[in-house]
Structure 1
């Protein structure tokens, strides 16, 4: 298995390491998943996300060329701004989701760890006269939570001036880093790309703040689930359209109207007519969590969908889930049954997110 530049620090801090997409990653620390989740919601938590693919795109009209692969408006993305996007396939499914930043003289792209082997060749094959460089000499950490600005801003004053989905290059503890105000927890926070040889030094400096603690993959998953954020491979995949997944907001008006990206025919049709199924929040009535793959039935016993992500929501104080249900069953308040170990457990459709998102707009 691969190791991130912070591996030795994880061991030192008592991280419990597991295999995640071929990487040895901390699933939790001595604070525990519940404690780390609470830390992120109330103060600040630091996550190692160095397993993600970091890619630099250089060339003429990079944003315009990316629009042939993604339904986002990257040609007009201003310098210093980041945008959530996704590669679509010819059937209108999602190949992967990603963050694209306009860094001025290049574009900076972060892709999912498990799909870097797909995404980077995909860009190299289709972005004519664009130099596609995956960078391996940098760590990536996420500092998330209502105190994230205090934690990062104490070492990097420029970070305080960033708004949600803005990015800059600035020194942290004397080390030049790329600092982006975004994240995957529903809280305010930053993702910070750090030179590999300074990664532990900078991470220690961030963790030295009294309001910051390390957190692992377990808390990251419960946080993003409560925030209603999709996980690739669970809630979105090659067969899922962005319209089914409630991601129409991530497609700018011009792209919706003009098309010109893979799968545009299906996506434009679903925008006009509505999809056959939709991603919804599902709240089990009892205490038992409903995991991925659990069948969703209506009260008459007919299958109407399936859970794609589920678990215990520490902030909510009970089980939470997301899943796809057939059109006509998506209204919040509808009573459904979840078939858990052969037994029907009552649940209801609820609006997403479960916990209010607290980004600094």
Structure 2
């Protein structure tokens, strides 16, 4: 977790007082004081999200609106995503790439008709927005929305729960987005999230966020959840965490995220790093992100060395831990392409010992998005 330096105080989200009232253990993350878990613990929160609905505070994420004619074309200067083909009321996952073909961040972009709405990672929001602002032609404006909180309601019970406060939310398709009132508060609601479950993200004014969060956790079947469960849920779902599984040196092809590159963009090859991406798509990358199941009960954490069965170094774990839903250790990491096929035997060096493991398909738990 990213900690602030001693002379830089941690920022707090609009829900900080509520987190403490609910008994959260607060920890530093990306410059913010964030809830790691509540009294029930990470495993209970994780399983509750898979069974019912969990409310996460993700207000540390960066929100911005790109306003003006040609906004989609301008954004495409920094990403291989097909933003111009995104219809009104629709949202898409994308990557910011650099000239070397690495990933500067991953993000969500939505077409709100008269503007684009962006959500980026907390640790990268300043760099992302500065880079985007510098790339904008005259007549376009980037409005950073630091006046808004962001809540994520996730789980199979999320739609029914949110419908009690915003009936229109249940009619949103997967990756649909619309402005609506939630408990009487104007909000921007998308049917998306990062747990592998059906769910919603709710952007709303800072000063009204606590009231809406209280209304949500007061609903039957809804419980608060912290960063710990959010991380174990996204790992089971096989989703990348920026700074762990993807970074400025990782290509979309290595990360198995080439599906984010639009067909039109593959014809034009006019995005940053296109030369490397094109070459790797044609000839294959040097390494690939894979799912890993360690044998036994010992988890393998990030930076664990990965060896071939004969002891040769072939890669490194980037995310790892215990998967409560699968009831065992799981991991993701990068291995040399020759060792990336499902079923391939591996060895993980944990506390000086080589533990057996094997490559498995991702995700570890099937996605249950609304379809």
TM-score by length of 1: 0.99
Structure 1, unpaired ranges of 5+: none
Q: CA deviation at 1:257?
A: 2.1
SS in 1 for 2:130: helix
SS in 1 for 2:96: strand
Aligned to 1:295: 305
Q: CA deviation at 1:305?
A: 0.7
Q: CA deviation at 1:298?
A: 0.7
Identify which of 341, 350, 360 aligns with 2:360. 350
Q: Would you say how many aligned residue pairs link Structure 1 and Structure 2?
A: 361
Q: CA deviation at 1:259?
A: 1.0
Aligned to 1:134: 144
SS in 2 for 1:14: coil
In the TM superposition, what whole-angstrom CA distance separates every residue of 1:108-130 from its partner, at most 9, and x where no partner exists? Answer: 10010011110011011002132
Q: CA deviation at 1:65?
A: 1.2
Structure 1 CA distance for aligned equivalents of residues 46 and 264 of structure 2: 38
Aligned to 2:348: 338
Q: Is 1:79 aligned to 2:88, yes or no?
A: yes
Q: Is 1:45 aligned to 2:54, yes or no?
A: yes
Structure 2 CA distance for aligned equivalents of residues 292 and 43 of structure 1: 29
SS in 2 for 1:218: helix
Q: CA deviation at 1:341?
A: 1.2
In the TM superposition, what whole-angstrom CA distance separates every residue of 1:3-37 from its partner, at most 9, and x where no partner exists? Answer: 00001100111111000011000000012100000
**What are the within-5 Å matches in structure 2 for residues 254-273 of structure 1?**
254-273=264-283
RMSD (CA atoms): 0.7
Structure 2 CA distance for aligned equivalents of residues 117 and 160 of structure 1: 33
Structure 2 CA distance for aligned equivalents of residues 60 and 156 of structure 1: 31
Q: CA deviation at 1:197?
A: 1.1
Q: Is 1:8 aligned to 2:17, yes or no?
A: yes
Q: CA deviation at 1:281?
A: 0.2
SS in 2 for 1:73: coil
Structure 1 CA distance for aligned equivalents of residues 85 and 137 of structure 2: 19
TM-score by length of 2: 0.96
Structure 2, unpaired ranges of 5+: 1-9
SS in 2 for 1:254: helix
Aligned to 1:200: 210
Structure 1 CA distance for aligned equivalents of residues 210 and 351 of structure 2: 45
Identify which range, 306-315 or 157-166, moves more after superposition. 157-166
Structure 1 CA distance for aligned equivalents of residues 237 and 67 of structure 2: 34
Runs (4+) off by over 3 Å: none
Structure 2 CA distance for aligned equivalents of residues 246 and 71 of structure 1: 14
Q: Is 1:246 aligned to 2:281, yes or no?
A: no
